[in-house]
Amino acid sequence: MSPKKLEQVIQSQPSSDGDGVRINRIAGQHLNSRLDPFLMLDEIRSEDSADYIGGFPPHPHRGFETITYMIEGKLRHTDHMGNEGVIESGDVQWMTAARGVIHSEMPEQEDGMMHGFQAWLNLPASEKMNDPAYRDIRSNEVPEISTSGGTLVRAIAGQVEVDGEPITGVVNGLTTEAVYLDISLPAEAELAIGLPEEHRALVFVFEGQTTELKNRHMGAYGDGELLQLKSGGQPTRLLVLAGKPLAEPVVQYGPFVMNTTAEIQQAIQDYQTGRLTE
């Protein structure tokens, strides 16, 4: 099997969103082709409540999916469809905004560590105006593989092979064939992940480092059937995101991601006139 080669290293950038929430962000139009089918990855990580207490009050989305994954802390989701739930360590919220969702994500704590990620996963043009959907996934629902060397792989989405052993995530059957893994590696450990050759693979390191990537850096890996990872001299934790590139035009305006400017203008008009969620 041919290995996927590292093509680009991207450093997350400090930013803010919602009501003054401090985040580390990997996004931007210049990265669309590299991240495809993903659009963005945000990380919240702070023990200072001033960095996150404002949360993300009600706001709209159209044209993609949001995947919120908590490492530590508690976050409450509510939306116009009547869905409500609190996620904490190891839990996931998978929301398909499609033609339109208005939702909020607010801290369910007043102090302590808040650490989590939100990824935006694009939808193909044929699915952007489908009905919206929402799913709460509890930590004990996420399949795991532990290797003899002490590596732990949590499979949130997709079907992969980990050192030759198949594992299927909770979420499957997406057109994008999205893969979302949380991997914990002991120091100087190696791991091989089998993926379709044409799928883009993204690796974001948030503890420790690999032999190719420093902490808070994302690596974009190209064609090949095997994603090879090796940690450095300390325990390392990282996310692997992968999927089938859509190779479609991406036009984004804030919380709306469509294929044309006219579709963005329609989304704005629909939101302003209360038709986004009809």
**pLDDT tens, residue order, the chain (278 aa):** 899 999 999 999 999 999 999 999 999 888 988 999 999 999 999 999 999 999 999 999 999 999 999 999 999 999 999 999 999 999 999 999 999 999 999 999 999 999 999 999 999 999 999 999 999 999 999 999 999 889 999 999 999 999 999 999 999 999 999 999 999 999 999 999 999 999 999 999 999 999 999 999 999 999 999 999 999 999 999 999 999 999 999 999 999 999 999 999 999 999 999 999 98
Instruction: Give the number of other CB atoms < 10 A from CB of residue 9.
Output: 13
Task: Name the DSSP class of 140.
Answer: G
What tokens does 84 get? Answer: 């409500």
- Name the strands in the sheet holding 92-96, side by side, starting at the edge strand that comes first in the sequence: 13-17, 21-26, 38-46, 114-122, 64-72, 92-96, 133-137
pLDDT confidence of residue 196: 94
* C-alpha span between 70 and 68 (Å, rounded): 7
Q: Which amino acid, 112? A: G
- Taking the whole predicted model, whether its pTM rises above 0.95 is answered as yes
Domains and CATH numbers, the chain: 6-272 (2.60.120.10)
* C-alpha span between 183 and 169 (Å, rounded): 13
Beta bridge partners of 218: 10, 204
Run of H or E residues at 267: helix 261-272
Q: Are 179 and 67 in contact (CB under 8 A)?
A: no
Beta bridge partners of 230: 190
Give the contacts of 277 (CB within 8 A, at least 6 positions apart).
Answer: 80, 100, 101, 102, 132
pLDDT confidence of residue 29: 82
Q: How far is CA 172 from CA 6, 105, 220, in A?
A: 26, 24, 22
pLDDT confidence of residue 30: 85
Q: How far is CA 232 from CA 10, 204, 238, 249, in A?
A: 19, 15, 12, 38
- Residue 55 — φ and ψ, nearest 5°? 60, -160
Q: Are 264 and 255 in contact (CB under 8 A)?
A: no
Task: Name the DSSP class of 2.
Answer: P
Give the contacts of 148 (CB within 8 A, at least 6 positions apart).
Answer: none
